[in-house]
Structure 1
Amino acid sequence: MKSIQKHEQSTTSILVSAVLIVLLVGSVYISQLIFQEISKSFNIDILDARSIFSLSCFFYAISFFIYGPLSDKVSTRLLVVFGSIGTIICLGLSGIIESFSLYLIIMSLIGFFAASVPAALFAYTAKNTPNEKLPKAMGVMISASIVGIIFSRSVVAMMTDYWSWQIAFFIYASLIVFACLFIPMGIKNTNNNTSNMSIASTYLTAAKLLLNQTVLIFLFVGFLLFFVYLGLSSLLTFYLKGSPFYLSSTVLGWLNFAGISAVIGTIITGKLSQFMTKDKLLIICLVFVSISVITIGFSSNLFFIALGIFCLFLFVFGLQPIVISILNQIVPINSRGAISSLYLLSCLAGGSIGTYLLGIVYENFNWNGVMITCISLTIINIAIALFGLKLTKF
């Protein structure tokens, strides 16, 4: 009876954690398909609106690394509630303010608050799941993050077309409020202060990893990967809303659902890694990322653009387990938590910077300039990965 009850509690915990991760990770990405509507509200140039996502994503990345060590010291429930309430307040405020500068600050704070939830819940799941069930549980958490990106962008874009982005943000905040009601039954109020290492020592240990050349190479692989992936995803909004497509936010929302392939990608590479070496899988995926970018950039047919988006998500996220696995083999066991945080930081920092810099390229050299840049970077990334693999000697 006790074992059955424990299993039910574990299932409830995973379910509640997954829903919270979907909504909080998603809150960082909600502006990506509605730059045009937001720019009209604040009477700014549409390209200036890209800074909304850049700042939100950048603060999310930095904050995730800040919260990582705290998850060993502070109650999981406290971190989750703190992040959820902060995000809810910011979403509410974003819909009523009239200053774009203040709006940028609030959207940056969404990134800061939202990061505490996945940081805390990933650690919580790892600590409270039996070893034999851990791969499956962590797979659910990673999939929840991916679904959060797809769900938030698509649903908010559709609600924006039907009502307005302000109402869409209020409704999204209400979904987080509703999910928070289940925190007491899904997340135990445990004491996480079990490590003898101080927070300062934890940060210092993580910083020392940056002195490893091979670690830096694979962190840079993640940086360039997300530079192209998130940068291109953001600029695609401008491209498809202009000539010759003139797509609405609702159609963009439906098109964005092609990105659900990201979940498939993580599963496929996980299975293939049992039959193929990591180095071959890594290079194959990077090559197909390049092909996906070319398909998106030079297709005039929406079907092929959707296919390109499907493949881009498939291979970008299919790469994640491979790169993380390689990094975990490079560093000591007691640094595996730190390297995961550093990798996430490098990926999201790449996405934030990519969104901003590719916007400048788009402004000066139009869509073709963005394509040439992205294709060049994907090819450079393959060369960097090959060099890194030689150093690892797997």
Structure 2
Amino acid sequence: MTTAASPAKKHPELTTLTLWIMTIATGLIVANLYYNQPLLEDIARTFHTTKGKAGQVSILTQVGYATGMLFLAPLADMVKRKRLMVIVFAFIVLSLIITAMAPSINVLIIASFFLGASSMIPQLLVPMAAHLAKPHERGKKIGVVMGGLLIGILLSRTVSGYIGEYFGWRAVFYAAAIIMLVLWLMIGLFLPEVEPDYKGSYKKLMGSLITLVKEEPKLRLAALRGALCFACFSAFWTTIVFLLKQNFDMGSAVAGEFGLVGAFGAIAAGMMGRLSDRMDAYKLSGFTLMLILVSFIIFIFSGHSIIGLIIGVIVLDMGVQATHISNQSIIFTLKPEARNRINTVYMVSYFMGGSVGTLFATQLWNNYQWNGVCITGITLSVITLIIHFANNPKAETKPLNA
């Protein structure tokens, strides 16, 4: 990897105010990626298209997010991080406005791609929190910021479901544009600047991603594990709105309410950040991966049971999000000077997995309905567990303060 080690730089303290701004911003920005999921039924009706075509809005949003992380997030190791965020914010606002005004489904799909690509800022904030935190409490601080991200993912569906039900799906994206303008100001005024550690060209910076993948087996395992888990997560959350409409005659508002249920799982998962400071993250991941498998077993018997779906949502979200935090606790110990690039490799894999899960779920729904989605989730969960236990490290994972 071509880097020039620079002298250790004194970086700002991670104050309580800074941590809360990062946490709130992470949750509200990542919400942009999920507003459309409870609205797919309404979007399909607006443009007189199929559910499969409407599902491309969600797919391209996630592909865009992965693209933004791949080509923009590594720059945070090379340029000033706050400056990069302030520039990218302009594209978030513009993309939201175009999304809200989209005259056709194809324009909406394209705008959704750029919305996803520009909403990669949380993947600058999480490594930034790891960078600013004291080593002995890094897992705890990552857990706080990740708690904001996870709750943003889940509550975004609740908010968009309600707004979409009563004001139309376009109102969701106009409201999001206003929120982003406020956040833009907060980031510019209150977030500290972090100087880059990487000295070299953008071409070499991107080439170093391949080197990291080759040199870090723990990164490869975490990336594959994360991709498969998020494929399960996305398969469920993309199709739940179709199930609720078909079996319960419920609209987008009720689909969004399931985000409130999932938030309980996310809050519980946030505690894993503290646990990852104290115990072996590999063993912790084995337990959390089992939760995902259990959730889809519950789902396959709950196609006509709201209570069963609620229980399954809590178990699924707890398993997926806790595994995610455990994965990040592992990868952020590897190369401190390359945290943004390491996070890029992991998160690009993560969201590409989500895109595949969404694609499979929307296509399987057309042919096999809910059982097809659940069988996909069970299959992916079993594959993930096999990969995890087949790669049992001989040495224990280093603690975060190593």
8 Å Cα contact 2:136/2:277 also seen in 1: no
- 1:200 corresponds to which letter in structure 2? K
Give the secondary-structure state (helix, strand or coil) at the position aligned to 1:192.
Answer: coil
Alignment of 1:178-327 (within 5 A): 178-188=182-192, 190=193, 192-211=195-214, 215-243=219-247, 245-273=248-276, 277-299=280-302, 300-327=304-331
Task: After superposition, give the CA deviation of every residue in 1:63-95 in whole Å (9 maximum; x if it has no partner).
Answer: 113222211333333322222221111111222
Query: Is 1:102 paired with 2:107?
Result: yes
1:139 corresponds in structure 2 to: 143
Q: Which moved more, 1:75-84 or 1:339-348?
A: 75-84
Which residue is 1:3 aligned to?
none
Bigger helix share: 1
1:95 touches 1:167 (CA, 8 Å); kept in 2?
A: yes
Secondary structure of 1:376 counterpart = helix
Q: How does 1:341-380 map to 2 (within 5 A)?
A: 341-380=344-383
- The alignment status of 1:385 with 2:385, answered yes or no, reads no
How far apart are residue 135 of structure 1 and its match? Answer: 4.1
Out of 123-132 and 215-224, give the one that drifted further. Answer: 123-132
Q: 1:391 to 1:348 in 2, by over 3 A?
A: farther
Post-superposition offset of 1:158: 0.4
**Alpha-carbon deviations, 1:147-191, whole Å to 9, x = none?**
211222110110111111111211121121122232333124x47
Query: In structure 1, what is the Cα distance between the partners aligned to 2:112 and 2:395?
Result: 40
Q: 1:280 to 1:206 in 2, by over 3 A?
A: same
- Counterpart amino acid of residue 98 in structure 2: L
Unmatched 5+ residue regions in structure 1?
Answer: 1-5
Gaps of 5+ in 2: 1-11, 398-402
CA contact (8 A) 2:77 2:337 kept: no
CA distance in 2 between counterparts of 1:225 and 1:29 reads: 17
Q: Which amino acid aligns with 2:15?
A: S
Name the stretch that deviates more: 48-57 or 14-23.
14-23
1:45 pairs with 2:50: yes
Q: Render the CA deviation track for 1:226-248: whole Å, top value 9, x for unaligned.
A: 111112211112111112x1112
Correspondence for 2:116 among 100, 105, 111? 111
Q: How far has the Cα of 1:393 moved from its partner?
A: 6.8
Look up the match of 1:159.
163
Distance across 2 between alignment mates of 1:274 and 1:71: 25
Moved more, 172-181 or 22-31: 172-181
Deviations 1:284-320 (A, max 9, x none): 2212211111112321321221111011001111112
- Structure 1 letter corresponding to 2:344: S
- Tell me the C-alpha RMSD between the 2 structures: 2.5
- Give the Cα separation in 2 of the matches to 1:143 and 1:96: 32
Matched, 1:25 2:40: no
- The aligned length equals 384
What's 2:9 paired with?
Answer: none
Q: CA deviation at 1:193?
A: 4.0
Question: Aligned partner of 2:97: which letter?
Answer: G
Q: What secondary structure is seen at the aligned counterpart in 2 of 1:30?
A: coil
C-alpha distance in structure 2 between counterparts of 1:271 and 1:182, whole Å: 28
The corresponding residue for 2:59 is: 54
> 2:8 corresponds to which residue?
none
Partner-residue secondary structure (3-state), 2:74 = helix
Counterpart CA distance in 2 for 1:297 and 1:23 is 32
Change in Cα spacing, 1:273 to 1:23, as seen in structure 2 (3 Å) is closer
User: What SS does the aligned partner of 1:322 have?
Assistant: helix
Residues 205 and 335 in structure 1, CA contact (< 8 A), matched pair in contact too = no
Q: Structure 1 residue 81 and structure 2 residue 86: aligned? A: yes
Structure 1 CA distance for aligned equivalents of residues 325 and 186 of structure 2: 30
C-alpha deviation, 1:387, in angstroms: 0.7
Deviation at 1:127, TM superposition (A): 4.1
Q: Which amino acid aligns with 1:102?
A: V
Matched position secondary structure for 2:101 = coil
Higher mean C-alpha displacement, 373-382 vs 347-356: 373-382
Distance 1:327 1:134 in 2: 12
Within 2, Cα distance between the matches of 1:341 and 1:126? 14
Partner residue, 2:178: 174
Query: CA contact under 8 A between 2:143 and 2:272: conserved in structure 1?
Result: no
Q: Which moved more, 1:258-267 or 1:286-295?
A: 258-267
Contact 2:139 2:329 in 1 (8 A): no
Query: 1:96 and 1:275, CA in 2 relative to 1: closer, same or farther beyond 3 A?
Result: closer
Contact 1:60 1:114 in 2 (8 A): yes
Give the percent of matched residue pairs that are identical in Structure 1 and Structure 2. 23
